[in-house]
Amino acid sequence: MFTKLRIQNFKSWADTGEFQMAPLTGFFGTNSSGKTAILQFLLMLKQTVESSDRNRILHLGGDQYSYVDLGTTYDISHRHQLPEKIKFSFQWIPKLISQSGVEVIAQVHGHNNYLGNDKIYGITFTRYKLNSSIEFNSEIDIDRDQIDINFFKYLFNSQDGQNYSLGIQQENNKKYSNSYSLLTDGFSSTELRIFSKLSIKNFKNYGLDRREFAGLTLAYEDLFQNTYYLAPLREYPKRTYLWSGERPQNVGNRGELAVAALLASRKKDPEVEFLVAKALKELGLIHSFRVNPIAENRRDYEILVQRSPNSAEVLITDVGFGVSQVLPILVLCYYAPKGATLIFEQPEIHLHPSVQAGLADIFIEVIKTRNIQIIIESHSEHLLRRLQRRMAEEKDGFTNEDAALYFCKMDNQGDSELVPLEIDTYGNICNYPEGFFGDEMGDLVAMTEAAINRQMNVGA
């Protein structure tokens, strides 16, 4: 789970400042205020991790496997200034979804040719004895058609509370030369002697290509490989869906794999389909839901829904559009592995206000029962109000400590600013931003004044 993030010199952000992230992290604000850019930065790091090119420092997208297409270095640099330095840092708590533990430094035995009988023993993070989160800092030089690492480093604590850092630094006066030296702090003289003998190579923007340091790289990759994204514009519903037995890792950027994920879950986790149907009913969208094979031994399936207890069962294409739009959100919430991070961009699109509010309850449930982190970018006042209400009620143990909510705005120079929403234990926003969701009170006052003026004119 991400716990802190800071981004500098990326798109409209000169500097987000370091901000906290919580099990539910939300970004609100006007259009083109920088909300999406924060999500895009995380997606850029994710698609870099998943790129097959180990020499690619940042994957800006543009291919069929991309989550986001960011264009060129000119497009991602703040105010389109080149050359530029993109700086970022984030902190996370390893969930170890695909590993039994995070071994930061593997056990290394000295070799007689340079260490005699000296030995160094590894520093190990485990699921139960982790003393702290891991922090990653990086600075990347970008120019026209050129991206290079200035430095990156990992910061962490051992089980005995000792602070360490490990990374690489570009050697002096060797820009774009791929020549680096090792950055270390907190290690003993024996450990440093071993490190000095190692030939260090990096890959991508985070990797130390040494078996001894593989644990840090794996922890970084585990974080982003278990971060899942759903775009705001989702696929239209279909009358039939093809499934050949594959098990997708996610529901697809536009929800195109949601039905395949549901069918695949029947063997591994049958509860997923039940929970999705239950959520659809609780949201008030339908009475019943099922994915049905059209014929035996065929790959064709259809989604049948019943709007009310006494209504006819019909295809998903023949009910309101909102059902098909919320379906991928629900499937991802229950299909993603426990401990994953989910990024939703405008999850409320095409949904009735009551359903938007109901989504907040779904998010709270999966945060609490599945240890999921949810990051949203939203314009929904209804979703926010429900979150505030649940904080006041402390429903399912949900409090203001479980949410980190932000308002994004843009100044006159075109730079984005991040305003943390100060929420008390009763769900009240203590620093409600001006124009947060438009001027509702102003509209009501203007409407009342207009009505009075018209009535006075009629009377005259």
Rg of the Cα atoms in the chain: 25
* Nearest Cα to Cα of residue 181 among 118, 192, 190, 189: 192
pLDDT of the residue at 447 = 84
**Cα separations in angstroms, 362 against 279, 312, 367:** 7, 27, 9
- Report whether 315 contacts 302 (CB < 8 A): yes
237 upstream amide cis, omega within 30 of 0: no
Helices (H), ranges, 304-352: 321-335
Residues in the chain predicted with pLDDT less than 70, given as ranges, are: 96-132, 159-160, 172-178, 197-200, 211-212, 439-441, 459-460
Torsion sign over Cα 381, 385, 386, 388: positive
For 363, the token pair is: 């998010």
Tell me the three state secondary structure of residue 207. Answer: strand
Query: Which residues are paired to 147 by β-bridges?
Result: 142
DSSP string, 32-96: TSSHHHHHHHHHHHHHHHH-S-TT-S-----STT-S-----HHHHBGGG-SSEEEEEEEEE----
Residue whose tokens read 């989702």: 234
Q: What's the distance, Cα to Cα, between the start and end of the chain in Å?
A: 66
Residue whose tokens read 């180990």: 54
Give one word for 449, left, alpha or beta, with left for phi > 0 and alpha for psi -120 to 50: alpha
Distance separating alpha carbons of residues 266 and 270, to the nearest angstrom: 4
* Nearest Cα to Cα of residue 147 among 289, 48, 36: 48
- Report whether 298 contacts 286 (CB < 8 A): no
Question: How many other β-carbons are positioned within 10 Å of the β-carbon of residue 412?
Answer: 5
CA angle 121, 125, 126 (to 5 degrees): 120
* Domain map (residue ranges) of the chain: 2-105+131-226, 232-398
Element (H, E) at 303: strand 300-306
Distance separating alpha carbons of residues 345 and 365, to the nearest angstrom: 19
Question: How many other β-carbons are positioned within 10 Å of the β-carbon of residue 377?
Answer: 23
CA angle 193, 218, 96 (to 5 degrees): 120
Question: How many other β-carbons are positioned within 10 Å of the β-carbon of residue 101?
Answer: 16
pLDDT of the residue at 110 = 45
Helices (H), ranges, 283-417: 321-335, 353-370, 381-393
> DSSP code of 247?
-
Distance separating alpha carbons of residues 165 and 407, to the nearest angstrom: 33
* Nearest Cα to Cα of residue 49 among 206, 171, 192: 206
For 369, the token pair is: 């029962």
pLDDT of the residue at 434 = 79
Tell me the three state secondary structure of residue 228. Answer: strand
pLDDT of the residue at 113 = 40
pLDDT of the residue at 297 = 80
For 52, the token pair is: 């097959």
pLDDT of the residue at 101 = 55
pLDDT of the residue at 220 = 93
- Report whether 244 contacts 299 (CB < 8 A): yes
CATH code for the part of the protein at 232-398: 3.40.50.300
* Nearest Cα to Cα of residue 157 among 182, 186, 193, 184: 186
* Nearest Cα to Cα of residue 323 among 291, 284, 365, 374: 284
- Report whether 140 contacts 181 (CB < 8 A): no
Q: What's the half-sphere exposure (Cβ side, CA atoms, 13 Å) at 310?
A: 0
Question: How many other β-carbons are positioned within 10 Å of the β-carbon of residue 342?
Answer: 23
